[in-house]
Chains A and B, each alone.
Chain A
Amino acid sequence: MHANKYSLILAALLVLPVAAQQSLESAYRTTGTAVVAAFEAQRQVLQTSSAVILDDRKEIAYGVVISAEGYILTKASELLEAKTLGVTVDQKNYPEAKVLMVDPTWDVALLKVEASGLVPVVYAPTSAVPQGTWVVANGVTSRLTRRLLAGIISAKPREIPASGGAALGVILNAKSKVLEVDDVNEKSGAKEAGLQKGDVILTIEGKKVANVTDIADALKERKAGTQVKLTYRRKGAETTVDVRLAARGELFTEQMNRNDQMSGDFSPHRSGFPRVIQHDILGSRTVEGGPLLDFDGHCIGMNIARANRAENFAIPVEELKELAARLMKQGGK
C-alpha cells in the first residue's frame, strides 16, 4: 500500500456521553433504504446483469455478466477455497459454474454457467468521469433481490503497485550455500509451476542467480502478474518453467498496520493492479467482483478490491473490455 513509511496517526475510539443529541434514522443515511430507493433504475441493472457467486449456499463474491450465454467475470482470488461453485443471476440459480480462465494480473476469473438469454452489462464509453460523480455497486443481496450501495468517484485513476514488490513465492533454506527451496507458498506462481522443497534455483530469465540479492535484482523491475523464466535443478536434472510473480505482501502475511486493523474485512488481494478507479462505496469484502455502474446504469468498471475502510478499487471499463475480450478468446469461445 502507499505511504508505508509512516506510522499513521490514528484517531482513538471514544464514545462521548452526551445528553442532548440528534440522530438521523438509518433509512436516511447514505446507505439507507430511503436514499438507495432513488437509484431504483440502476438497481434493476444489478438485478439482471450482476451475478452472485456462491460456494454451496455461501456468498463469496459478485460477478459481471458479459454475455447472454452465461459468461461471467469475477474476482479470482475469492474463489480459491470454494468447493461447490454456483451462481445466481436475477432470481435463477445455476448450481454448476466452471472456471474457464484466470488472469492473475487483474485477479479476474472467467466463469461459465449453462444459461441463455442473460442480460450482459452495457459498457460506459469512458471511466474518465469527474470526482464526485455518483456510482453504484452491489450491496449484500437477498436470494431473489439484488441490493445496491451508492457512492462517488473519490480519487485519481492510477496504478496500484504490488505490495512489497513482486515475488516468486518460495522460502529458501538459509543454511544452504545454494538457492535451495525450503517451502513453496500455496498461493504462489512457484507452486503453480511445480516447484518443490529441495529444488535448487539456478537462473532467472537466463541469468545465473547465486544468492538472494541476485533474485531481488532479477525481480526488482518486474510487476506482479507477469511471468519469469526460471531454471531449477532437481535430482541432477535441470528444468525451465514460467513462474508467475505475485505481490509479496499478499503471499506472506504482513503485519497488519493500524489502518488494516480498523478496516474490517479487506480484500487479501488488493495491490498489483495496472490501473484502477477509486470510489467510496464500502460494502463487505464479498461484494467485490461485481459491476460498478454510472447514473445511466452503464458499467464503468468492475469492483476488484476493498483496500480498506475508506478506499475501494475498480478495474476501469477500458481495461475491463479488453480483458473480457481476451479471456473469452483464450477461454475457447
Chain B
Amino acid sequence: MLALLPWCAFADDARPYVNDLKAPQNRKDLEAIQNAVASALPKARAATVCIEIKEGSGSGVIVSADGLVLTAAHVAQGVKKKVTVILEDGTRLKGETLGLVADKDAAMIQITEKGTYPFVEIDRAETTKLADWVFALGHSGGFDKDRGSVVRLGRLVRIAGSTFQSDCKLIGGDSGGPLFDLTGKLIGIHSRVGAQLESNMHVPMTEFIANWDGLQKAEFIGEGPYAQKPVKGTGFLGIATEPRPEGGLRVTKVGEKSPAAEAGIKEGDALLKMNGVALEKREQMQDLLKEMSAGDELTLETEHAGKPKTLTLNLGAR
C-alpha cells in the first residue's frame, strides 16, 4: 500500500533560523551557517561551470539534467553562439548560447552534448530576504583545475529593483556564476561589481523566470547595456573572388590578417559552398554575407590544390 508523503516533510527546505537573527550571537549560530554551506556545497559545486567563449571566460550554473545553463548576458554576448562549458572535474563540453536579456544581464546556454548533468534547483518561490546569508561560486579569473571554483560567504546587503547586492567578493571570471541561499537553492547570477568590496551585484532568479520562454527560444530580449544586438551586414570575411569555369568561385585576393586569412584560405583556392549553399555567382556570396553579422559562424567548403576542405570561421567586424 502506498501512502502519500506530507508535502511539508522536506525539512531541508526549511528556512534556516540564522537568517532571521540580526546577527549570529554565538558559536551555535555560526556553526549553523557553516554547516549549511558545507552541506549545500558539493551539489552546488558540481553544477557550477566555467564558460569559455572565444578569448574570454566566465561562469555559469546547470539548472536541468539535460544541461540547461544560466549565466550573464555579458558572458553569452549573443544568441546561438558556440561556447565551451567546463565542468568542475575539467570535462569540456560543447554548448550553444540560447536567449539573453540585454538590459538585465540574464542569459541561457544549452550544453549540446547528450548527457545527464548535475544540476541545482532554482528558488522559484522568491523566499530570499534582505540580510539572508548566501554563498557565491565561480571560476574567478578563469578555470583552474587545481583550485576548483571559489566559494565566498556573505549576506544580501541590498535589494534594489532587479538587483541583489551581496558582500560575497566577486572578480572577473565570476560573471555568470551562481549565488545560493543556505539551502543550496539558486537565487541569483553574478553580474557586476563596484569599487567597494561589498559592491557585488547579482541578477535575481525572477528576471530569468519572467523571460524563461524567450530565453529557451534563443531570443535576444531587451536592449543594452550587457549585450549588443547584432547588425546584419557587418560581418567581414576578407576575400575577393571571381566565377570559376568548372563551378564555384576562385579566390583572387585574401586580406592580410582577415578572418579568411586566419582560417587558412589562400589565393587560388576554390569556394564551393558557403553555409551549405552551392556558390555559382559572386552575388550569392554577397547575399549570404548581407544577412550575417560580425562574430557569426560561417562554414565554407573549399578546394586547395585540388583537395577538398571544410572550414569553419567567425566573421570579423567590418
Contact = CB atoms under 8 A, between A and B. Distances in A.
A280 B160 contact: no
Nearest to A34: B23
B27 A21 contact: no
A262 interface: yes
Given A9-B56, A21-B161, A131 B41 contact: yes
A9 B57 contact: yes
Contacts of B175: 9-11
Contacts of A34: 22-23
A15 B194 contact: yes
Given A22-B159, A38-B24, A131 B38 contact: yes
B144 A3 contact: yes
Interface bracket on A: 35 or more
Interface in A200-215: none
B220 to A, nearest CB: 18
Contacts of A37: 23
A158 B147 contact: yes
Contacts of B142: 2-3, 5-6, 8
B41 A132 contact: yes
Interface string B29-71: 1110110011001000000000010011110000000000000
A130 B45 CA distance: 13
Given A1-B141, A2-B144, A263-B171, A29 B150 contact: no
A282 B152 CA distance: 11
Contacts of B34: 132-134, 152
A298 to B, nearest CB: 14
A22 B204 CA distance: 15
Given A158-B146, A308-B171, A24 B194 contact: no
Contacts of B144: 2-3
A208 B291 CA distance: 61
Contacts of A237: none
Given A12-B225, A15-B194, A23-B157, A28 B22 contact: yes
Contacts of B225: 12, 14
B151 A21 contact: no
A24 B164 CA distance: 12
Interface string B159-185: 111010001111111111000000000
B25 interface: yes
B141 A3 contact: yes
B192 A12 contact: yes
A3 B38 contact: no
10 tightest Cβ-Cβ pairs between the two chains A and B: A3-B142, A11-B192, A21-B160, A8-B172, A132-B37, A10-B172, A34-B23, A18-B160, A132-B38, A310-B171
17 contacts: A6-B52, A6-B57, A11-B72, A14-B225, A18-B161, A21-B159, A22-B159, A23-B160, A29-B157, A31-B167, A35-B23, A38-B30, A154-B150, A158-B146, A158-B147, A263-B171, A310-B174
